[in-house]
Amino acid sequence: MLDLERLRALHSVATYGSVSAAADVLHVTTSAVSQQLAKLERETGQKLLERNGRGVKLTDAAELLVAHADRILSLVERAQADLEAHRGAVVGQLSMAAFATAIRGLVPSALGRLRADHPGLRVLLREEDPLRSMPLVARGDLDLAVVQDWNNEPLPPAEGLCKGLICDDVADVALPAGHPLAGREVVDLKELADDTWISSPPESVCCDWLLHTLRGVDAEPRIDHTADEIPSQLALAAAGMGNVIYPRMGRCEVPDGVRIVRLKSPLTRRIFAVWREEAARRPAIRAAVEALRAAVPAVPAHLAGAAPNAPR
């Protein structure tokens, strides 16, 4: 009889490319993973790993076993989801990721609701860009992710994942106070296209989207500065370093040297939750999605049509 945890260890090594990476994902030591693999070799009577420089590579026998492990682990997850659905209780553990502004403006309230309504559920949260969190969900390393796409650049479909819309969110533009258009209430993105911009780091959803969007108005983007956190981006804008696309969800205090201006053609992003098809029946997944939807903040009056720089 093949041991499930040993199969999981081999599957993680195959997925992440090394014993140490598998140990990080499984939250155990490298020694523990190595011991599991050694026991699996004894169970199967075949060598599963070979030295490859400073790392390891899978043997043909291991590749065959990993192909079966994919299906076995998927079936186990589906069985666990069915059992949870049969029991109907929202209990156990849910691993979850969300991008930065969702963690600031949406997730805390949702987690508070989950804790109050379902004290038997433990949620483990981490911050991840959607380009990283969706593959983690697909591989089974996360149960749920809060992700985003934009009205002019939808997320690509992901095989084996379900998604549910949480809400829509509109973005404005944050301009340095000395910008020639900073006194306007509304601007056209074309008027700003040749400016210098500040964004999240390359190969993130927001940076990729900004490049796509500015090229859509016939401008070659000039993203001179990048920072993960919106407050850092705004601090750079206050110093006159460039413009920032500023979503309304999860807003922070705006520095004195920044003016928030609405865009003539609104830029809208959609916030989704994504989870694996095999886990769709888990009560914990349904409860988390419901809590996220219930936690969507109302749009403050000064963002719903009044002057964007009105007192907050």
Tell me the whole-structure pTM to 2 decimals: 0.70
Which pLDDT band holds residue 254 (cuts at 50, 70, 90)? very high
Mark whether 107 and 204 lie in a shared domain.
yes
| 18-27, 55-64, 76-85, 164-173: segment of lowest average pLDDT | 76-85
List, in order, residues 6 or more apart from 164 with CB less than 8 Å away: 272, 273, 289
Which pLDDT band holds residue 47 (cuts at 50, 70, 90)? confident
Q: What is the mean pLDDT of residues 180-192?
A: 94
CA distance 128 to 145: 9
Mark whether 259 and 173 lie in a shared domain.
yes
Nearest to 244 by CA among 195, 191, 302, 190: 195
Mark whether 150 and 251 lie in a shared domain.
yes
Q: Does 67 reside within a domain?
A: yes
- pLDDT at residue 307 above 90? no
CB atoms within 10 A of CB 34: 18
Start-to-end Cα distance in the chain? 64
Which pLDDT band holds residue 133 (cuts at 50, 70, 90)? very high
Mark whether 28 and 119 lie in a shared domain.
no
Mark whether 216 and 143 lie in a shared domain.
yes
Mark whether 125 and 79 lie in a shared domain.
no
- pLDDT at residue 309 above 60? no
Range of the domain at 230: 92-307
Which pLDDT band holds residue 86 (cuts at 50, 70, 90)? low
Q: Which of 86, 119, 141 is a domain's end point?
A: 86
> Is the CB of residue 37 less than 8 Å from the CB of residue 49?
yes
Give the chain's mean pLDDT: 86
CA distance 81 to 87: 10
Mark whether 210 and 278 lie in a shared domain.
yes
> Is the CB of residue 273 less than 8 Å from the CB of residue 134?
no
- pLDDT at residue 97 above 70? yes
Q: Does 312 reside within a domain?
A: no
Mark whether 242 and 205 lie in a shared domain.
yes
- Per residue in 12-34, pLDDT tens? 888 877 888 888 777 788 888 88
Domain total in the chain: 2
Block residue for tokens 């400073």: 54
- Per residue in 196-216, pLDDT tens? 999 999 888 888 888 888 888
CA distance 14 to 65: 10
98: Cα within 13 Å, side-chain hemisphere: 24
Mark whether 39 and 136 lie in a shared domain.
no
Q: Which of 86, 107, 126 is a domain's end point?
A: 86
